Structure 1
């Protein structure tokens, strides 16, 4: 397929890990826009950090992309929150207008600035979003809405800056837009035909294990720890 422009990069953002809201927690969710070109390597944007490397960052979560298109819907839902006045409210590295989850498929290969990236997985929101917004069920809202963003792995290093185009280079799995996977993760959790179909995809290991367990055990895993976080 010939490359086509999906969106234009409006902001490139990175953050430093600092102490966060709950005892012992750290986060780099408060990312700030960068001026000029930012290098992209296998672990993501130069200068970007993660507060908990067990669940954030790494090659399969190197770059988080969130559609600015969703901000108006969030403002309508939770009110005119100060975080929604500028890109970065959801801890994203890349902010665009023009493409959302419904226009992205698992395995899409894209040119981001001069780098080549691949859609590795959708974001599974955690409690840190709830604390950041001061909305107790914000993580659950993000999960249920499907407005969660997605992660890239880096195939070819390069650099990116605001104003660059995001180009679709290749779409090997056009039948698997991200909302279809989100529906399987969160709503049609035990649909055996859909689980088997998804297991033929190049899933990240954690999703592979999740779908295999559901088929073997016939039950859905608990999301409480991710959505609610450490208590007390």
Structure 2
């Protein structure tokens, strides 16, 4: 597993069904390393800290491998990494094989798997339809939230190196299934 893209977003204000909302879900790839802080990625907009950021959701990763599946369903979109609001797009990231509590060395940082992502209506803003929410829930392609145990820079091509395996803990996909 290695980092294919590092992504950050700025705060956007959007009119959604007559209500003004703020979001940081619209992320784009950046050429420079990103810094994983204790509660978020530095310079990445985190708007609603009840659901994003914080110790257990400091960084969100999504698998590059999942993109092909979604592109078939939504070919009309302008596809780029960061579409799912992820800070890290990682090759071969598989929720059915990664366990809660696993720890990884990634660039200068050490991160720990905490939980799957639960989609909200803001993902529908990116995909221009709220149908994506049910489709997302009906898959195991939820992505992974990490806690940052050691802050540091992460760059494209950095490898995700397993340093602690919690194989007796549930996988991200197993936890995600219980939340449906």
* Shorter-chain TM-score range: over 0.9
Secondary structure at the counterpart of residue 44 of structure 1: coil
> Larger C-alpha radius of gyration, 1 or 2?
1
Secondary structure at the counterpart of residue 183 of structure 1: helix
Secondary structure at the counterpart of residue 135 of structure 2: helix
Question: Does the Cα contact within 8 Å between 1:64 and 1:92 map onto a contact in 2?
Answer: yes
Secondary structure at the counterpart of residue 138 of structure 2: helix
1:32 Cα deviation from its structure 2 partner: 1.5
Within the alignment, does 1:170 sit opposite 2:164 as a pair?
yes
Residue 191 of structure 1 corresponds to none
Secondary structure at the counterpart of residue 82 of structure 1: coil
Aligned residue among 99, 119, 131 for 1:137: 131
Question: Does the Cα contact within 8 Å between 1:25 and 1:51 map onto a contact in 2?
Answer: no
Question: Does the Cα contact within 8 Å between 2:61 and 2:144 map onto a contact in 1?
Answer: yes
Within the alignment, does 1:41 sit opposite 2:42 as a pair?
no
1:175 Cα deviation from its structure 2 partner: 4.3
Q: Distance in 1 between matches of 2:177 and 2:31?
A: 37
TM-score normalised by structure 1 residue count: 0.73
Deviations 1:57-87 (A, max 9, x none): 11111100000101111122x231324x321
Q: Distance in 2 between matches of 1:81 and 1:97?
A: 23
Secondary structure at the counterpart of residue 89 of structure 1: coil
1:173 Cα deviation from its structure 2 partner: 4.0
Question: Does the Cα contact within 8 Å between 1:21 and 1:131 map onto a contact in 2?
Answer: no
Runs of 4+ in 1 over 3 A off after TM superposition: none
Question: Does the Cα contact within 8 Å between 2:108 and 2:153 map onto a contact in 1?
Answer: yes
Secondary structure at the counterpart of residue 142 of structure 1: helix
Higher helix share: 1
Paired residues in the alignment total 178
Structure 1 residues 1-232: aligned runs within 5 Å: 7-22=1-16, 23-76=19-72, 78-83=73-78, 85-186=79-180
1:97 Cα deviation from its structure 2 partner: 1.3
Are the structure 2 counterparts of residues 67 and 163 from structure 1 closer, same or farther at C-alpha, using a change threshold of 3 Å? same
| Greater RCO structure (CA 8 Å; 6+ sep) | 2
Secondary structure at the counterpart of residue 175 of structure 2: helix
- The CA RMSD measured in Å over matched residues stands at 1.4
Q: Distance in 1 between matches of 2:30 and 2:125?
A: 24
TM-score normalised by structure 2 residue count: 0.92
